Structures are given as C-alpha cells and as structure tokens.
Chain A
C-alpha cells in the first residue's frame, strides 16, 4: 500500500510505523491520522505482527497537531478543537493502549504537544539522548490532550505532572528518564538499533501473555486492590490455557530455549 505521510515496514514479526513529514516535524494532519489509524488497526488483528515500533523521520519525533490544518484567524468564530480530538486523537490513543501486543516508541527528537502524549501512550518508550518532551499546550491556553492529563500524573506523580503541564518547559530525555516518564535513553545513533533489538526480542515472546500484562496494568489505574486481584486471577486463568505457557514450562523442564508462538 502507498502512504504519503508515514513509512510502513514489516520485518521479523515486527511492524514499524514511521512518521514521515519531517519538514513539519511530523505533525499530524488529517491524512496522517487516517494512514496511522489504518495501519494500527490492521496490525492489532494481524497475528503475524507481534510487536510494533513507532518512530519518526528527520530531527523531530512529532510536534503534535499541524496548526496549519487549523483555523487560527483571530477574527473568525471560535474553532471547535474537540472535533479533531474526538475524531482522531482519542481513537489513536485507544488503538495504541488497546493493541494486544507491545508497542515501543522510539523518540528520535522533539516530542511536543500531542506528539509527546502519543509517545507516553506507548508501552515502552526509548528516547535518543538529544530527544526532548514538551507539554506545549499551556502556552496557547490549551489542555494536554491525547491522554496527557491521564498519563502524566500516573507516570511521574501529581507534583511533576502539574509542573510539566502548567509551565510547558522543554525537558530532556535524561530528565524524562529521571522522572520515570520513559524506559530508556540511548545515544542518538543507537536509537534505531536499540528499538529494533527490543522489538525483535518481544516479537519472540508470549504475545498473548504480554497483551494480558498490558491489560492488567492499564486496568490497575482504575481498580482498587480487591478488583485488581480478581482481574489477576481471571487473566492468569486465561494465560494458563495458552500454548505458550505450556511451551514455557516444558522448555524450562527440558532446559532448552522456549519457542513461543504468541498464542
């Protein structure tokens, strides 16, 4: 399939989705939303894809919404910013968080606004040393969207979340790592290889089990301990029926490397 705004590659059971509007710092317009969503929807169902990597071309990761796509004439009627969020950003965040396989984000440069929060919605975030994160919304009188106000306090705690969202300062990848916002920082030239290595590893792992882990950790944000313990019992019950669990136990007993099929 032909894409105008993204690059799509499938290799060794890994789906690579690369934002490709480098001149606009990979900011989202409508066609990019449509292309990203169609690829993610397909991979969500495709059992042959067992891990997803989201990254970007050029020096930036994603600058969020392309403001050229929005009416900014100060004399015009107030725009309805809820529309594009309802139609595009919210479904995109759900596609990532509900994807039944690991989603790795390789942040190669500046991740601003919705771009930062799309990265935070991914399961494991690896950033290049020169990458940075900005909750730019407050500077325009807006609110962090794409799950920002949900992810931030859960990732870094309320005090840091408030500071990040109200001051809108650019923070370095190292700082993001210190705050617990992301998983790993690597040298710029190592980023691609690190993300690929991690994805290829995850793509050989028990995908179904990983999807249940993801489900449990997301549910934990809303559950109390009692509810979560019940959910863990339920998910373990399901996991215990998978062929990968059988294979894992057998391989352990036979002292060999397990061959997981992802189901």
Chain B
C-alpha cells in the first residue's frame, strides 16, 4: 500500500483487507481543515483502486472524532472565494468511495465531524459520543450535507430541531434514531469497527460493491427505478464466480472462498 506521507492522518492495516484511517490533529480536536479533508479524500482514492483493500474504517481518538471544520480557514472566505473553495469537491470524492466505509465515532462529532460521520456506510459509536450541528450558533448552516443526510436518516422533525438549535445528541439518542448502528464502550469502538470491517472484508467484493451502490441510490431514484437497479445488479452478479462459489460452499456446508471475480 503506497500512501501519501502526512501528519494529518495515520493509516494502518489492523486486519487483512481492512485499512484504518485515524485523524491525527488531537491538539485541534481533529478539526477538519482543507488539508485534512484532502488527505482523507486522496487516501480513499488510492485505497479504492487497491484490490487488497476491502473495507476502510475512519476514526479520531477516544476523546474526539472531529470537532468541526477549521474556523480560522472558514473565517477567511468571503462570498467570492467561497465559491471557488475546493471543499465541496473533497466531500464529493469521499462520498464517491466505492468500498464499505465504516465510521468509528468516539467523543465529539460536531459540525463537519458529524457530517463526515454521516458519509459512513456504517457508523459505530462509543458510549461517550456526542453529535451536534452547532453551525447555527455561528450564523451558518451545515455545509457538507448535514441537513440533507441527517434529515434522510432521522426525518424532518428531529433534523430541523437539531440544525436550528445545535443541541447535542447523545450516543443513545443517535442509536435510537438510526444515526449509528451500535454503541460500544469508547475504548472498544475501534476494535469492534475493525472486526466488523474484517467480517465485511471476507464477503464477495463484487456483491458488496453493488449492495453499496444499491443502498446509496435510495435517495436518488424512485422505488420502481431502485427496484430495477437492484434487479440489474442481481442479474449481473449471476455472471460472477463468487456467486457460484457462495452457493456451492453453502450446499457443500463449507466456508466460501471469494476471489472478487
């Protein structure tokens, strides 16, 4: 795995097929400045084309996932320069990552940090996690999909309330409303996220790929179009060796060995 050298994030491979990205600006509470966001996007792009990599976990540290955007950077932007800001492109590149992306969130996930978590296909949360969209307190609104992705997850009522007040959302509340799929003791969140990633990494990569595509399309297309798309993926998988292997292994009562072919 050839990755760019940066202090902003740390990458490692704790299990076969799994890459762990740790945000590494603890002194700034992992505030997501452009350079960090770019490091994430660049890294994901490299990992996307690396066939050894099956799933990616992004985390901060046990006290903080990411406490928001970098306000010093934001403050310098006026209405003209903000139009040329590269940030929307960086977010888009993160959104386009084609493999399963798991967010392991401990501590603060505020503002852009929350929005980064919302980019995850699966979110795992420490019991100390706190989510919030505090942009309103700065006279702004969430600018990286916060209003859109959150409303689609939890509905308009709660999203309106949270975006208009900046209220803090506890891990338990996040679980209750589907922002996260599991609450773990904070010291175990990353371990459990990596274990989940490893479990997914063992699955048939092509099937995983189309599952992600199918699910990510639900907010783009109508149900009938979505069902058609799902059917196409279903048919397409029939041409893969992994599907044959999966069915054979099941009938022969053994574990399948998927090759991504």
Contact = CB atoms under 8 A, between A and B. Distances in A.
Q: Do A and B come from one complex?
A: yes
A234 B182 CA distance: 13
Interface in B160-208: 184-185, 187-188
A234 B185 CA distance: 7
Q: How large is the interface on B (under 10, 10 to 19, 20 to 34, 35 or more residues)?
A: under 10
A235 interface: yes
Nearest to B184: A234
Nearest to A234: B185
B185 to A, nearest CB: 5
Contacts of B184: 234
A11 interface: no
A238 B186 CA distance: 10
Contacts of A235: 185
B229 to A, nearest CB: 36
A23 interface: no
Interface in A215-250: 234-235, 237-238
A237 B188 CA distance: 9
Nearest to B187: A238
Nearest to B191: A237
Interface string A191-211: 000000000000000000000
A235 B184 CA distance: 10
Contacts of B187: 238
A155 B253 CA distance: 51
A237 B186 CA distance: 12
A75 to B, nearest CB: 36
Nearest to A241: B187
B107 to A, nearest CB: 15
A127 B179 CA distance: 45
Contacts of A237: 188
B130 to A, nearest CB: 15
Nearest to B192: A234
B238 to A, nearest CB: 38
B247 to A, nearest CB: 32
A131 B95 CA distance: 63
B126 to A, nearest CB: 11
A235 B187 CA distance: 10
Interface in B187-241: 187-188
Nearest to B186: A238
A234 B188 CA distance: 8
Interface in A158-181: none
A256 B185 CA distance: 33
A237 B192 CA distance: 12
Contacts of A238: 185, 187-188
A132 B198 CA distance: 57
Contacts of B188: 234, 237-238
Contacts of B185: 234-235, 238
Nearest to A222: B172
B173 to A, nearest CB: 14
A235 B185 CA distance: 8
A10 B184 CA distance: 34
Nearest to B185: A234
A235 B188 CA distance: 9
Nearest to B182: A230
A202 B232 CA distance: 64
A156 B65 CA distance: 41
A234 B184 CA distance: 8
Contacts of A234: 184-185, 188
A238 B190 CA distance: 13
A235 B186 CA distance: 11
B168 to A, nearest CB: 15
B73 to A, nearest CB: 32
B124 to A, nearest CB: 12
Interface in A90-130: none
A5 to B, nearest CB: 31
A145 B188 CA distance: 34
A86 to B, nearest CB: 15
A224 to B, nearest CB: 15
A234 B191 CA distance: 11
A237 B187 CA distance: 10
A234 B187 CA distance: 10
A217 B118 CA distance: 32
A72 to B, nearest CB: 34
B69 to A, nearest CB: 29
A202 to B, nearest CB: 22
A238 B185 CA distance: 9
Given A234-B184, A235-B185, A238-B188, 5 more contacts: A234-B185, A234-B188, A237-B188, A238-B185, A238-B187
8 contacts: A234-B184, A234-B185, A234-B188, A235-B185, A237-B188, A238-B185, A238-B187, A238-B188
The 8 closest A-B pairs by CB, nearest first: A234-B185, A238-B187, A234-B188, A238-B185, A237-B188, A234-B184, A235-B185, A238-B188
